[in-house]
C-alpha cells in the first residue's frame, strides 16, 4: 500500500484552484497505488470539507506558529506528517509557495524533489513523474528509488469532485513561533479581483510591441484589457514589458516569471524568445498576433495572425463580443 500526502494551498480562506488540482492528482494516484490520500492544510482557520475533492483524511495545522507563512516551518510540518501517515508520495502545487518550501521539506525527509511535474503515472508499482526541462524542449521522466516528493504545475491536473467527507483532524505545529528562521511579515495584495495568470483558464499577454502605456501605447494596452475582459481572461506580459515598468512582475510569463498552462493563450506583440516560451508552451491553444511573419512565436502558435496589434486586437474583441453575445 502506498499513501499520498498532499499540501492544499489556500488563498484568502479558500482552497486555491491549484491546491484542489494537486488534491485531485493525489487522489487519482493513491487509487492507482491502492493507498489513501491525506490532505494537509496549514495556518487556515476552517479547511472546509476537502473530502468532496478527493481527500480520505484531512489534517489542519493551526496555531500562532503558522499564523504567517514560513518556508522552514511549512517544510518541517509537511515532512513530519509525511512520516506520520507513512506517505510514499508527497505532493504540492508548483506555485511560488510550493516551490519555496517543498525543496526544504524533501531535504528534511532526505528525498529528492521532482519539480514542476506535468504528469504522474504508475508503472510496475512505481511512481513516475514527468517534468519539462530545458525550457520545455524536452520531457524528463523521474522515478524515485524511495519516496517521491513532487510539485505539480497548476492547470495541468484535474480536480475531482465526489460525495466523500473528511472531518479535519486538528494538529499543532511541532515548534513555537520563535523557532522559525524566516517568517513572512506582510503580504502586499495586488489589484483586488485581478485574475492570476497562473490560475486563469485564458491569458491575454502583451509584449514590447504594444509600446509604452504612458505614451503612444496607451490605447494598445486599453485594447488588450478590453480583449481580456470579453474573454474573462487574466492579463500577462513579457519580461521586456515588466523590466520597462509597464506591468507588475506578477504578470510576467516565462522562465523568470510564472509558468502558465491555460486553455487559451493569446500573445500580442511578443516575439517568442525562448525564455518566454518556457512559461507558456504548456497552453492548450496558442494564438499569436505579431507584425513580423518570421517572429519565433509563430513556431509554437496554433493560430497566427500577421498584423498590427493596433488593428487586430480591437477587431478580435469586436468579433468575440458578437460571437459570445456579450
Ligand X SMILES: Cc1cc2nc3c(=O)[nH]c(=O)nc-3n(C[C@H](O)[C@H](O)[C@H](O)COP(=O)(O)OP(=O)(O)OC[C@H]3O[C@@H](n4cnc5c(N)ncnc54)[C@H](O)[C@@H]3O)c2cc1C
Residues near ligand X, by CB under 6 A: 207-209, 238-241, 252-257, 269-271, 273, 275-276, 279, 290-292, 295, 308-310
| Shortest Å, Cβ 277 to ligand X | 9
Q: Give the span between the Cα atoms of 278 and 134, in whole angstroms.
A: 8
How many angstroms separate the Cα of 319 from the Cα of each of 152, 248, 289, 306?
36, 29, 15, 17
**Minimum gap (Å) between residue 293 Cβ and ligand X:** 9
Q: Which is nearer to ligand X, 194 or 291 (CB)?
A: 291
Q: How far is the CB of 297 from ligand X (least distance, A)?
A: 7
Query: What is the smallest separation between the CB atom of 208 and ligand X, expressed in angstroms?
Result: 3
Measured from the CB atom, is 71 or 254 closer to ligand X?
254
Cβ proximity to ligand X: between 132 and 254 the closer is 254
Which residue of this chain has its Cβ atom nearest to ligand X in the complex? 254
Task: Report the residue number, 214 or 292, with the smaller CB distance to ligand X.
Answer: 292
Q: How far is the CB of 89 from ligand X (least distance, A)?
A: 30
**Pick 88 or 223: Cβ nearer ligand X:** 223
Residue 95: CB minimum distance to ligand X, A: 16
Choose between 71 and 269: whose C-beta lies nearer to ligand X.
Answer: 269
- Between 219 and 255, name the residue whose CB sits nearer to ligand X: 255
* Residue 153: CB minimum distance to ligand X, A: 15
HEC readout, the chain = CCEEEEECCEECCEECHHHHHHHHHHHHHHHHHCCCEEEEEECCCCCCCHHHHCCCEEEEEECHHHCCCCHHHHHHHHHHHHHHCCEEEEEEECCHHHHHHHHHHHHHCCCCEEEEECEEEEECCEEEEEEEECCCCEEEEEECCCCEEEEECCCCCCCCCCCCCCCEEEEECCCCHHHCCCCCCCCCCCCCCCCCCCCCCEEEEECHHHCCCCCCCHHHHHHHHHHHHHHCCEEEECHHHHHCCCCCHHHEECCCCECCCCCEEEEECCCCCHHHHCCCCCCCEEEEEECCCCCCHHHHCCEEEECCHHHHHHHHHHHHHHHHCC
Amino acid at each position: 500500500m502506498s499513501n499520498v500526502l498532499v499540501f492544499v494551498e489556500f488563498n484568502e480562506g479558500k482552497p486555491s484552484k491549484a491546491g484542489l488540482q494537486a488534491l485531485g492528482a493525489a487522489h487519482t494516484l493513491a487509487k492507482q497505488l491502492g493507498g489513501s490520500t491525506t490532505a494537509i492544510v496549514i495556518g487556515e482557520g476552517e479547511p472546509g470539507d476537502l473530502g468532496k475533492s478527493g481527500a480520505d483524511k484531512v489534517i489542519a495545522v493551526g496555531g500562532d506558529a503558522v499564523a504567517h507563512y514560513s518556508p522552514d516551518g511549512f517544510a518541517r510540518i509537511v515532512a513530519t506528517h509525511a512520516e506520520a501517515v507513512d506517505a510514499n508520495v508527497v505532493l504540492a502545487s508548483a506555485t511560488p509557495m510550493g516551490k519555496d518550501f517543498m525543496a526544504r521539506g524533501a531535504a528534511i525527509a532526505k528525498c529528492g524533489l521532482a519539480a514542476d511535474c506535468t504528469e504522474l503515472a504508475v508503472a510496475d508499482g512505481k511512481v513516475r513523474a514527468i517534468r519539462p526541462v530545458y525550457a520545455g524542449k524536452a520531457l524528463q521522466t523521474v522515478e524515485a528509488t524511495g519516496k517521491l516528493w513532487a510539485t505539480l504545475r497548476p492547470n495541468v491536473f484535474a480536480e475531482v469532485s465526489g460525495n466523500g467527507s473528511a472531518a479535519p483532524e486538528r494538529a499543532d505545529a511541532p515548534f513555537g513561533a520563535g523557532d522559525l528562521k524566516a517568517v513572512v511579515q506582510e503580504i502586499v495584495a495586488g489589484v483586488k479581483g485581478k485574475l492570476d495568470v497562473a490560475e486563469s483558464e485564458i491569458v491575454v499577454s502583451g509584449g514590447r510591441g504594444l509600446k509604452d502605456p504612458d505614451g503612444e501605447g496607451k490605447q494598445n494596452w486599453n485594447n488588450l484589457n478590453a480583449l481580456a475582459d470579453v474573454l474573462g481572461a487574466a492579463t500577462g506580459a513579457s519580461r521586456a514589458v515588466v523590466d520597462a515598468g509597464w506591468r507588475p512582475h506578477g504578470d510576467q510569463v516565462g522562465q523568470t516569471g510564472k509558468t502558465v498552462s491555460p486553455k487559451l493563450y493569446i500573445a500580442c506583440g511578443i516575439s517568442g524568445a525562448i525564455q518566454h516560451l518556457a512559461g507558456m508552451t504548456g497552453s492548450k491553444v496558442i494564438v499569436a498576433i505579431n507584425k513580423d511573419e518570421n517572429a519565433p512565436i509563430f513556431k509554437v502558435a496554433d493560430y497566427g495572425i500577421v498584423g498590427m496589434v493596433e488593428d487586430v486586437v480591437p477587431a478580435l474583441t469586436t468579433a468575440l463580443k458578437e460571437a459570445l453575445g456579450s
